[in-house]
């Protein structure tokens, strides 16, 4: 999806969750939540301060959990067999639980539980 499409969608809709590999820019300031992993965060952190995006970022830190609005959400340590699909599972669980509860903390915990189950299996799988 192009940056222009993301901008248009987020400008005209509520509850827009973004999961992107792109360097963050003005085009994502209307998104409600932005999920990035710690590697992606390191690549784009130089743009975040100028855009005031910290309160929208959900930064995943693999087996350490994730960070949202300065709070760490730890995750249960498990035997990781395969990371394939963990990020997609996380964002899917996050959106589903947030739509159901409107509680971001509860949605993050649910998403982490989902991703934790996936990484314990080989290959891309469902939970």
Rounded to an integer, what is the distance from CA 102 to the centroid of its chain? 16
Mean pLDDT check: name the lowest of 8-22, 26-40, 68-82.
68-82
pLDDT band at 125 (very low <50, low <70, confident <90, very high): confident
Q: What is the mean pLDDT of residues 69-87?
A: 89
Using the predicted structure, report yes or no on whether residue 2 has a pLDDT greater than 80: yes
Q: What is the mean pLDDT of residues 46-63?
A: 91
How many CB atoms sit inside 10 A of residue 29's CB?
15
pLDDT at 31: 96
Using the predicted structure, report yes or no on whether residue 25 has a pLDDT greater than 90: yes
Q: What is the mean pLDDT of residues 4-26?
A: 95
């Amino acid at each position: 999806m192009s940056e222009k499409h993301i901008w248009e969608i987020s400008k005209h809709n509520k509850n827009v969750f973004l999961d992107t590999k792109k360097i963050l820019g003005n085009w994502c300031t209307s998104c409600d939540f932005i999920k990035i992993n710690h590697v992606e965060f390191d690549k784009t952190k130089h743009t975040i301060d100028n855009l005031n995006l910290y309160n929208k970022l959900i930064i995943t830190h693999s087996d350490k959990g994730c960070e949202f609005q300065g709070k760490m959400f730890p995750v249960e340590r498990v035997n990781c067999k395969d990371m394939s699909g963990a990020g997609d599972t996380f964002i899917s669980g996050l959106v589903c639980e947030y739509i159901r509860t409107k509680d971001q903390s509860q949605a993050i915990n649910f998403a982490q539980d989902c991703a934790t189950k996936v990484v314990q299996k080989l290959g891309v799988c469902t939970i």
